[in-house]
């Protein structure tokens, strides 16, 4: 079958609820980084803004590095949340590509299938579907599965949701305890949940997910981060809001002021603006084009982003 499932999509749906959404660092949470509010300064504003924008990129060694000078490859791509939601939506639609009543005619039955990525990897899924209500539960099991956006995922994921025949998936929750993702030299474990609502014109997702770097053991936690997506002709607009814990800095709160605008096929936005707020400090990131962005920093806590303004390339 076609490569409808992707590492990033599947992770995004999987990450939303399993982490539990409270403050980080408790014994129940895999997040081990700083749990205090981040202090944004002129020196770290770029790192904090980029890490928050990308939302815990699977290239964890680069993303979690506190210094831009330490980056060994470009890190500017779509926010991982957006990539995951897009691809997870495609994965869910592929699993329910035909009406449930046709595929599973009995009131309560099991549907199973295998999706191949064309590169030797596969996803085996089994779903218990109630044709009367559209409710379903089941598992997706990934074996060396290559995502369309790169990376390889391995491990089982539990799913549950509601299917509306003739409309498609209206809600699906992916839950995983430990899924390994390898992306080039990067190697991380993802733990958490993603709660997705999808539709033809876009959708939304709530992510509660922790990424653990398997080499450094550093962590990033997207704590109840909400993503909204609008799909238009030739573009996708998206917003991100919520709290993200950055291992070396602590947590910041994100709010999108102007939706990020992605022309179809582009991994970088051509417009958009959001603010990242820490402990009485913050940074505003404004996308100027597909190659540059502007940072305005409030490092003295007066709520005015006038302490530093700098134009940077992705």
**Nearest-angstrom CA–CA distance, 109 and 119:** 31
**Nearest-angstrom CA–CA distance, 238 and 240:** 7
pLDDT in the model for residue 24: 44
* Closest CA relative to residue 219, chosen from 18, 31, 28: 31
Side-chain-facing half-sphere of 154: CA atoms under 13 Å: 8
- pLDDT digit of tens for each residue in the chain (314 aa)? 333 333 334 443 344 334 544 444 444 689 999 999 999 999 999 999 988 887 644 333 333 333 344 443 344 455 656 655 665 666 666 666 654 433 443 445 777 888 887 889 888 888 888 877 878 899 888 888 876 555 678 888 898 987 766 655 568 888 878 888 776 666 778 899 988 876 666 678 898 989 888 888 889 899 989 988 888 899 989 898 999 999 999 999 999 999 999 898 787 899 999 999 999 999 999 999 999 999 999 999 999 999 999 999 98
pLDDT in the model for residue 268: 84
| Token couple for 183 | 């992306």
Sign, CA torsion 56/154/87/107 = negative
Q: Are 151 and 7 in contact (CB under 8 A)?
A: yes
Q: Are 191 and 48 in contact (CB under 8 A)?
A: no
């Amino acid at each position: 079958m076609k490569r409808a499932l992707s590492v990033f999509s599947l992770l995004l749906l999987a990450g939303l609820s399993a982490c539990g959404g409270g403050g980080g660092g408790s014994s129940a949470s895999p997040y081990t980084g700083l749990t205090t509010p981040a202090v944004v300064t002129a020196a770290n504003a770029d790192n904090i803004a980029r890490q928050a924008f990308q939302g815990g990129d699977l290239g964890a060694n680069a993303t979690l590095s506190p210094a831009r000078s330490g980056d060994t490859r470009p890190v500017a791509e779509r926010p991982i949340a957006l990539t995951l939601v897009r691809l997870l939506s495609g994965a869910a639609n592929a699993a329910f590509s035909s009406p449930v009543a046709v595929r599973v005619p009995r009131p309560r039955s099991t549907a199973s299938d295998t999706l191949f990525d064309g590169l030797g990897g596969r996803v085996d899924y089994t779903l218990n579907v109630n044709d009367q209500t559209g409710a379903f539960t089941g598992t997706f099991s990934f074996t060396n599965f290559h995502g369309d956006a790169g990376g390889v995922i391995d491990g089982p994921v539990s799913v549950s949701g509601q299917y509306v025949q003739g409309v498609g998936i209206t809600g699906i929750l992916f839950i995983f305890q430990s899924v390994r993702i390898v992306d080039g030299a990067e190697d991380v474990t993802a733990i958490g949940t993603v709660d997705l609502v999808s539709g033809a014109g876009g959708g939304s997702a709530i992510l509660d997910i922790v990424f653990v770097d398997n080499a450094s053991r550093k962590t990033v936690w997207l704590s109840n981060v909400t993503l909204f997506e609008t799909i238009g002709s030739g573009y996708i607009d998206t917003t991100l809001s919520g709290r993200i814990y950055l291992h070396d800095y602590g947590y910041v709160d994100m709010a999108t002021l102007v939706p990020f605008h992605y022309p179809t096929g582009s991994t970088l936005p051509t417009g958009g603006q959001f603010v990242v707020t820490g402990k009485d400090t913050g940074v505003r990131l404004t996308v100027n084009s597909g190659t540059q962005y502007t940072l305005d920093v409030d490092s003295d806590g007066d709520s005015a982003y006038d302490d530093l303004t700098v134009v940077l390339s992705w």
